[in-house]
Amino acid sequence: MKPSIPQGTRDFSAAVLRKRNFILQTIRSVFETYGFEPLETPAMENTETLMGKYGEEGDKLIFKILNNGLNNPDKREAVMQDFNAVLEGKTNKGITERALRYDLTIPFARYVAMHHGQLTLPFKRYQIQPVWRADRPQRGRYREFWQCDADVAGSAALLHEVELSLIYTNVFNKLNIPVEIHINNRKILGALATICGGEDMMIDITIAIDKLDKIGMEKVKDELIGKGLTMEQVDTVESFISISGSNEEKLVQLDELFGTIPGGQEGIAELRTILASVEKMNPSPQMVVDLSLARGLNYYTGTIFEVKALGVQMGSIGGGGRYDDLTGLFGVKGIAGVGISFGVDRIYDVMDELNAFPEGIQKGTTALFFNTGMEEQQHVLGVAENLRKSGIACEIYHEAAKFDKQFKYAERKNIPFVVIIGSKEMEAGTAIIKTLASGTQTEVRLDEMAKILAH
RNA sequence: GAGGUUGUAGCUCAGUUGGUUAGAGCGUCUGAUUGUGGUUCAGAAGGUCGUGGGUUCGAGACCCAUCAUCCUCCCCA
């Protein structure tokens, strides 16, 4: 058979992996400096843990795992019935008890709900793991991709929104990616819905205005009319998304529009507090109040974030927000949460396009020992072991091939030094170290090698 | 779920209105060179043209199906 991997998945070679690890380590170290602790959860969750949390579209994209033992003749009748339910579009424990995680937030909520008795609140955790979605792959979109999440559970303080904004800023500064952090508040969108046909219209309205960039004002209005809004209400929506200017100017106009609606007031006040706080920092995050930002995930209730890379055509490279009742879905009321996520794979694509990776992250082996014969090989084995004790990565060519071949091997693996110890050097207790970049070489005593190769 | 692109050597790709034995560059291997490569020169290996069917005297090329791929929409990171 022809070897292949599933659609939307990738193998990562050494060069790619070193760049990916650079991104992961940068994010991890920033998370740690803000006091977040690591957490890992299983690749699979119970299907019912995930279903119904991501909206109708999201549910369709969850990878479900077929149960084992369905061919057991004793269970044939039950399996047939369960399978018929699947054919009608229902998910069913009898067929798929487990599913691959779709994001890191719901598993986190499940974890908090399971362990809230033992956790010190607020609980700040970060999580760096792959997630899976049965999406059509395309540019910046994969079926297996990595997310880096930082969430806080058990605190309603706006301090967290401020610090999470700073985390975004610090990470993208370190990664050398120019970004805008778009921010909005679901309470404001809720207020808009309240005066435009009721709160249950919020999803329809936000989905429509989210498309403003792509389809334009007229089509947005058409869609709203299609959803049953009156002309007056559509006009209100239009004046809402027409709000422009600086962040402060936008907030002032919002005040005029929603000043009398309690939820709206609250949302505006929260935005104002967060922005005032982060703008005093140095470096100040590039925050943009984006009233068309809605985010599809159902569980957000307050602040919402989305990060866009500037100068590259790519969907958002990060997102997040506040959810006041996430663990409520798992029977534990009253634990508020807020969190952000980094999309590693898109960040990688952006950095690759912008050439933003620093020099010097491709280092692997430092020195290659040439193989000049069996006797020398035994001697070199000991020399290499000593170097490794000093933390120097080295390897020995596997056979006494022509130097030509050994040089090429070193070159292809980006190894900066070759060490040649032939019978003459073995006898004299020396080694020849050749720097490949310059072509210069010197003969040194064995006890001097570590110092030279360490630079 | 809807629409489109592409599929020829290990890699990147040529291949005319259908016409003999399908090509190039890079890479690989061998030699010029028995302990100093990268240049150069000479030579070699490597393809049932994604797969299956059809049209034709004749298909890499045309038609149908199928699989894979990349992209757009939907949605998202």
Q: Identify the CATH number of the domain in which residue A218 sits.
A: 3.30.930.10
Angle at A276 between CA A283 and CA A151, to 5 degrees: 75
| C1’ B35 / CA A371, Å | 11
Q: Is A198 left (phi over 0), alpha (psi -120 to 50) or beta?
A: left
What amino acid occupies position A436? Answer: L
How distant is C1' of B36 from CA of A221, in Å?
75
State the pLDDT confidence band at A192, using cuts at 50, 70 and 90.
Answer: confident
Q: Measured CA to C1', what is the nucleotide nearest A145?
A: B77
Q: How is residue A241 written in tokens? A: 């998304």
- Give the pLDDT of residue A204: 78
pLDDT at residue A346, as a whole number: 95
Strand B footprint nucleotides (protein C-beta < 7 Å):
1-3, 28-31, 33, 35-38, 68-77
Q: Three-class SS of residue A213? A: helix
Q: How confident is the model at residue A431 (pLDDT cuts 50, 70, 90)?
A: very high
- Number of structural domains chain A divides into: 2
Q: What is the mean pLDDT of residues A347-362?
A: 87
Judge contact between A401 and A371, C-beta under 8 A.
Answer: yes
- Find where tokens 């039950």 sit: A78
User: What mean pLDDT comes out for the span A99-111?
Assistant: 95
- What digits encode the pLDDT tens for the residues A231-257? 888 888 888 888 889 999 999 999 888
**A306 pLDDT higher than 90:** yes
Tell whether A2 is covered by a domain.
no
Where is A273: in which H helix or E strand? helix A262-279
Do residues A373 and A347 share a domain? no
User: Are both A307 and A404 inside the same structural domain?
Assistant: no
| Residue A131 included in any domain | yes
Task: Give dist(CA A161, CA A183) in Å, integer.
Answer: 10
The answer on A289 and A163 residing in a single domain is yes
Q: Is residue A111 a part of any domain in this protein?
A: yes
| Boundary-marking domain end, from A354, A378, A409 | A354
Measured CA distances, A3 to A6, A365 (Å): 10, 30
Q: How far is the CA of A181 from the C1' of B75 (A)?
A: 21
**% of chain A at pLDDT higher than 70:** 99
The nucleotide closest to A434 (CA, C1' atoms): B36
Q: Do residues A129 and A237 both lie within one domain?
A: yes
Give the least confident one: A8-12, A181-185, A296-300.
A296-300
Measured from Cα to the C1' atom, the residue closest to B77 is: A343
| The last residue of a domain, from among A333, A354, A375 | A354
The predicted pLDDT at position A297 comes to: 63
User: Same domain for A170 and A297?
Assistant: yes
Q: From the centroid of its chain, how far is CA A409? A: 35
Which CATH number fits the domain that encloses residue A435?
A: 3.40.50.800
Higher pLDDT, A206 or A269: A269
Helix (H) or strand (E) holding A384: helix A374-389
Pair A191, A221 in one domain: yes
Q: Are residues A220 and A132 in the same domain?
A: yes
Over range A436-449, report the average pLDDT.
87
Are A413 and A329 found together in one domain?
Answer: no
Write the pLDDT tens digit of every residue in A19-73.
999 999 999 999 999 999 999 999 999 999 999 888 888 888 999 998 888 888 8
CA of A97 to C1' of B56 (A): 56
Minimum-distance nucleotide, CA of A317 to C1': B77
A92 in a domain, yes or no?
A: no
C1’ B39 / CA A19, Å: 33
The nucleotide minimizing the C1' distance to residue A405's CA is B37
Q: Does residue A5 lie in a domain region?
A: no
Q: Which of A354, A388, A407 is the last residue of a domain?
A: A354
Same domain? A345 vs A382: no
Q: Mean pLDDT throughout A320-348?
A: 92
**Concatenated DSSP letters of A98-156:** EEE-S-SHHHHHHHHHHHTTTPPSSEEEEEEEEEE--PPPBTTB-SEEEEEEEEEES--
Can you tell me which residue has its alpha carbon closest to the C1' of nucleotide B2?
Answer: A136
Write out pLDDT tens, residues A375-425.
888 999 999 999 999 999 999 988 888 888 888 888 878 888 999 998 888
Q: How would you classify the pairing of strands A441-445 and A430-435?
A: antiparallel
CA of A426: nearest nucleotide by C1' is B35
Residue A3 CA and nucleotide B10 C1' are separated, in Å, by: 15
Question: What average pLDDT score do residues A133-146 get?
Answer: 92
Both A194 and A317 in one domain: the answer is yes
The torsion angles phi and psi of A238, rounded to 5 degrees, stand at -65, -45
pLDDT at A2: 67
Q: Which of A152, A153, A182 is nearest to A168 (CA)?
A: A182
Nearest nucleotide over every DNA/RNA strand to the A5 CA, judged by C1': B68
- Residue pair A324/A196 in contact by the 8 Å Cβ criterion: no
Q: What does pLDDT average to over chain A?
A: 89
Q: Nearest nucleotide (C1') to the CA of residue A307? A: B77
Q: How far is CA A294 from CA A256, A304, A307, A319, A391, in A?
A: 21, 8, 13, 11, 51
Task: Give domain status of residue A139, yes or no.
Answer: yes
Taking the C-alpha atoms of residue A207 and residue A438, their distance in angstroms, rounded to an integer, is: 60
Give the β-pairing of A367-369 and A394-396. parallel
Yes or no: say if A177 and A346 are a contact pair by the CB < 8 Å rule.
no
Domain span at residue A227 reads 14-43+101-354
pLDDT reported for residue A261: 84
Q: Give the CA-to-C1' distance from A386 to B15 in angstroms.
A: 57
Q: How far is CA A407 from the centre of its chain?
A: 39
Instruction: Please give the pLDDT value at position A1.
Output: 62
CA–C1' span, A146 to B8, in Å? 36
Say whether A395 sits in a helix, a strand or coil: strand
A176 in a structural domain: yes
Of the two residues A218 and A315, the one the predictor is more confident about is A315
Residue A6 lies in a domain: no
Burial label for A27, CB within 10 Å (0-12, 13-18, 19+), is buried
Residue nearest to nucleotide B68 (CA to C1'): A7
CA angle, A70 then A71 then A76, to 5°? 80
Do A238 and A150 lie in one domain? The reply is: yes
In this structure, the answer to whether residues A387 and A344 fall within a common structural domain is no
Distance A14 CA to B36 C1' (A): 28
